Amino acid sequence: MAIPKLALIPAAQGDKFYSLLPSDGLGDFTFTRGSSATRINAQGLIETVSDTSSRLNYDLLNGKVDSCPHYILEPSSTNLITYSEDFSNSIWIKSNASITANQIVSPDGGLNADLLTSSSGSSLHSVNNNTSQTVTVGDNITLSVFAKKGTYSIIQLTSSTFYSIYANFDLENGVVGSYSSTNASIENLGNDWYRCSFTDTVIGTANSRIQINIVENLQSIRNSNFDAVGNETVYLWGAMVENKTFKTSYIPTTTTIITRAAETATDSGDSELFNDSQGVLYIESKSFDNTIALNRKIVLGDGTLSNGVEFSYQTTTNKIQFIIRAGGSISLGIETTAFDVTEFTKIAIQYKLNEGKVFVNGNQIGATYTNIVSPTINRLDLKFGSGFNFEGKVKEIRVYNEALTDVELASLTTI
């Protein structure tokens, strides 16, 4: 197989997305984010990076660190509660329960996770954040918290002001119980820590509060009484409320709410590096969610809306769309059937005069052999125009300056 002219294989973080090829740095992407952010490092710990640093992120798969990292590009998001790690603060209201601060090592490696202990008796046993940040009817809201079993393992996430929304979680077996929401998930972070989260729609104007209850079982209804002995405990750290359809990377807060700025990676390469007449754009990536359309784009083109070899997640339909634009006209338009866009996918788009092909996960999903006009290509951007930034995880990008055979395209994209 030909050697790519550009190869981005995430291996370092800094003020760019660094490309392995070409070695002179011409293929590096300009990176921007106007705030600090957190990532999961190679030891599986959550750590903060500066506002000028890209994020080399390591997924945790069933509690184990994935040795193959990826770059992460997230939209802006705000943690709408204060004192996200300090459950002993008075902003957290305790109901038939108590908090003991700094009792165990948290997911960031510090001795700063708190212990929630129920009182005895039949009642609601909870801790509720009293931060006041208004959300409105119809807003999507995502609640999340990092939790670990103590002497007990069943918790419920809800809110004192979001009416009927809730979800139950088992910190022993890592499973989700009954829930009211459109989705609920529990993510294994290793060392018996889980990140519990769920998303729902606000059905009444309310303040953006999160409440954690110790409940009897996975089928417990919202805010149900639990006849506790009085020594039921769980560990808590890192609570978040976001005006989002999915949870994002952890945003720590203290005295004020905090916003993480949106990220972009743009302007890799030039007209000397890329070939207008023929080539292949290869990508291995995934989307964060499957609810928002038309804002997950990677484009090999000229930075305008007129020219480009383009791929985008059509996430409201769980499809991927592929387009070749030249001189403002679309000469190739292909999309996949529905599948899970939140899983890593290998994609190749081949272009040359009167031939456009698309391969996904080892299979050709479409081709056109007429009216394909080569676009002007002098840069690679993880965005398209204004408002269509790529949002997701990127494991690899390659650009070949020549067409590949079908066998090569299938091999390149096989999972």
- Mind listing the pLDDT tens digit for each residue in 5-23? 999 999 999 999 999 999 9
Give the pLDDT confidence score for residue 408 in this predicted structure. 98
- Mind listing the pLDDT tens digit for each residue in 231-287? 999 999 999 999 998 999 999 999 999 999 999 999 999 999 999 999 999 999 999
Q: Which of 260, 292, 327 is the last residue of a domain?
A: 260
* Alpha-carbon span 42 to 255, nearest angstrom: 30
Q: Are residues 126 and 197 in the same domain?
A: yes
HSE-CB for 42 with a 13 A CA cutoff: 8
Q: Are residues 96 and 31 in the same domain?
A: no
- Mind listing the pLDDT tens digit for each residue in 305-336? 899 999 988 766 788 889 999 999 988 899 88
With respect to residue 366, please indicate whether it lies within any of the assigned structural domains.
yes
Q: Are residues 62 and 94 in the same domain?
A: no
Q: What is the CATH number of the domain that holds 173?
A: 2.60.120.260
Q: Which of 208, 243, 260 is the last residue of a domain?
A: 260
Give the pLDDT confidence score for residue 201 in this predicted structure. 82
Confidence category of residue 133, pLDDT binned at 50, 70, 90 = confident
Give the pLDDT confidence score for residue 292 in this predicted structure. 62
- Residue-number span of the structural domain to which 269 is assigned: 6-75+263-413
With respect to residue 1, please indicate whether it lies within any of the assigned structural domains.
no
Q: Are residues 230 and 269 in the same domain?
A: no
| Mean per-residue pLDDT, 189-193 | 97
Give the pLDDT confidence score for residue 85 in this predicted structure. 98
Q: Are residues 206 and 286 in the same domain?
A: no
- Give the distance between the most distant pair of CA atoms in the chain: 76
- Mind listing the pLDDT tens digit for each residue in 267-279? 999 999 999 999 9
Residue type, 162: F
Q: Are residues 206 and 169 in the same domain?
A: yes
Q: Are residues 94 and 201 in the same domain?
A: yes
Q: Is 83 within 8 Å of 145 (Cβ atoms)?
A: no
- Number of separate domains in the chain: 2
Would you call 263 exposed, middle or buried from its count of C-beta atoms within 10 A (0-12, 13-18, 19+)? buried
